[in-house]
Amino acid sequence: MTEYFPEVKQVKYEGPDSKNPLAFKHYNPAEKVMGKTMADHLRFAVCYWHTMKGLGSDQFGMDTIVRSYNKAADPMQRAEQTLQAAFEFFTKLGVQFWCFHDRDIAPEADNLAETNKRLDKIVALAKKMQDQTGLKLLWGTTNAFSHPRFMAGAGTNPDPHVFAYAASQIKKAMEITHELGGAGYVFWGGREGYDTLLNTDLKRELDHMALLLQRAVDHKKKIGFGGQLYIEPKPKEPTKHQYDFDAGNCFAFLQKYNLVEHFKLNIEANHATLAAHTFQHELAFCVANGILGSVDANRGDLLLGWDTDQFPTDLYDTSMAMYTILKGGGFTTGGLNFDAHVRRQSIDNVDLFYAHIGSMDAFARGLKIAARLIEEKVLDKAVQERYAGWDQPLGRDIESGKMDFAGLEQYILENGEPLLRSGRQELLENILNEYI
Ligand code: XUL
Ligand code: CO
């Protein structure tokens, strides 16, 4: 069989003293942390769209990257070779999972029936490769945002004909995800939003978005798909306002339309920062509300206001993310999907390996740091002390609902001013640095 990444044989764990840039220094899949292997904690996935299909183009320039699996004239031959290259890459890197959009793996044909036939052909091949390699599908999704038919949205399109098209695509994408044993299925609201309110019926669009998700829940039941459904929040880009703005917004939407029991969230780091939140904030909000599902691991750039989708290497970010994920009980169906692409100048195959290796190591370190913070109760102790009043008679009476306004007023009249206490932020930041 053709080898598409001959530069690399197998990425292995060599430990922190290794100087080999193509080895893991920290990610040791079988090593146990808090009673579970690192592989089971982190559940790394490679994303097909950026890693296999990304060729460096941006709004200002054409492709910069040439891949040997992308050269055949026939689009289906290209798709097959890309799939073979993908499984070679996944295996050499040593991840357990992959993720895709329907249109990443098979090119669209002239009509839906033909497009679906093409998908079936590639899915049969993918199934064979999954069996051969042991790779699993973390989640599948549909691309209902690139084609011109979706320029005004998919489920939120003013034209019901487009709604029907989106539904048909999602139906098929859910079926192939099921066929491949996917642990989940993602809804990222591509162009579900608006560019101007001058031509937009906001309420109707939101109702339609919910209808599309309700039909997806029905179909999930109908085909017996046991995977988890996720919504992936993002506040803007491509539209000026995306309806799934952030975790808080998605949670309210899911509650309003009685969908909360069927969905969890897929939190992407760069989407969090676009919404003016931290990655950790979005994770913490999900944990607090029982809706954390999976993670698209990447990072933005402090100085750029768009979705740069860079590979995550910031140890503070990975540590605090893993801290929050572990405190929330860890992943069940979800995992860490690298929704990230190499920079336009990183044109070599080996750059793909460096990017993933560095990020996997950054999350492995984050995991170990988070485990120590938890085991030594570093932050727990501080938080517990800060809220200690709530375990005293006054706090207990308020929390149990025993105290009304008159009772609370009586307490103040008798006890006067509260004692002011330091929040100790700087001390905690210094302590955190000791662990990182
Ligand atoms: C876009 C994005 C998507 C979703 C899947 O910003 O993150 O790739 O993850 O559709
Ligand atoms: Co994403």
Backbone angles phi, psi at 374, to 5 degrees: -75, -50
Ligand 1 nearest atom to the CA of residue 307, by list position? 6
CA torsion sign, 25 to 31 to 36 to 37?
Answer: positive
**Cα–Cα distance for residue pair 69/75, rounded to 1 Å:** 11
Topology at the third CATH level for domain 32-375: TIM Barrel (3.20.20)
State the Rg of the chain over Cα: 24
Q: Is the pLDDT of residue 416 over 90?
A: yes
Pocket probe mutation, ligand 1, options 105, 141, 150, 188, max atoms within 8 Å of Cβ: 188
Question: Per residue in 184-221, pLDDT tens?
Answer: 999 999 999 999 999 999 999 999 999 999 999 999 99
The model's confidence at residue 362, banded by pLDDT at 50, 70 and 90, is: very high
Our answer on whether the CB atom of 141 is closer than 6 Å to any ligand 1 atom is: yes
Q: What is the pLDDT of residues 13-30, one digit of tens each?
A: 999 999 999 999 999 999
Question: How close is the Cα of 233 to the center of ligand 2, in Å?
Answer: 9
Q: Say whether pLDDT at 159 is over 90.
A: yes
Protein residue with its CA nearest to atom 8 in ligand 1:
339
Mean pLDDT of 122-139: 99
pTM: 0.98
What are the boundaries of each domain within the chain?
Answer: 32-375, 388-435
Looking at all shown ligands, the one closest to residue 297's CA atom is 2
Residues forming beta bridges with residue 350, ordered by sequence position: none
Q: Provide the 10 A C-beta neighbour count for residue 332.
A: 14
DSSP 18-75: ---TTSBSS--TT-EETTEEHHHHH-EEEEHHHHTT--S-BTTB------GGG--SSH
The pLDDT confidence band at residue 1, using thresholds 50, 70 and 90, is confident
* Measured distance CA(66)–CA(343) in Å, rounded: 14
Ligand minimally distant from the alpha carbon of residue 99: 1
Q: Is 101 tagged catalytic?
A: yes
What is the spatial distance between Cα 180 and Cα 284, in angstroms, rounded to a whole number?
Answer: 31
Q: Ligand 1, residue 271: give the atom nearest the CA.
A: 6
Q: Which of 26, 101, 341, 356 is catalytic?
A: 101
Nearest alpha carbon, ligand 1 atom 2: 188
Sign of CA dihedral 99, 102, 104, 105: positive
Active-site residue flag, 208: no
Residues 6+ apart with CB under 8 A from 53: 82, 104
What mean pLDDT is predicted for residues 394-402?
Answer: 98
pLDDT, tens only, 138-152: 999 999 999 999 999
Tokens 């296999």 belong to: 52
Q: Evaluate if residue 232 carries a pLDDT over 90.
A: yes
Q: Is 339 in the pocket of ligand 1 (CB under 6 A)?
A: yes
- Ligand 1 atom closest to Cα of residue 237: 6
Mean of the per-residue pLDDT values of the chain: 98
Residue 369, H or E segment: helix 349-375
Nearest to 86 by CA among 120, 125, 119, 118: 125
Express as a percent the part of the chain with pLDDT over 70: 100
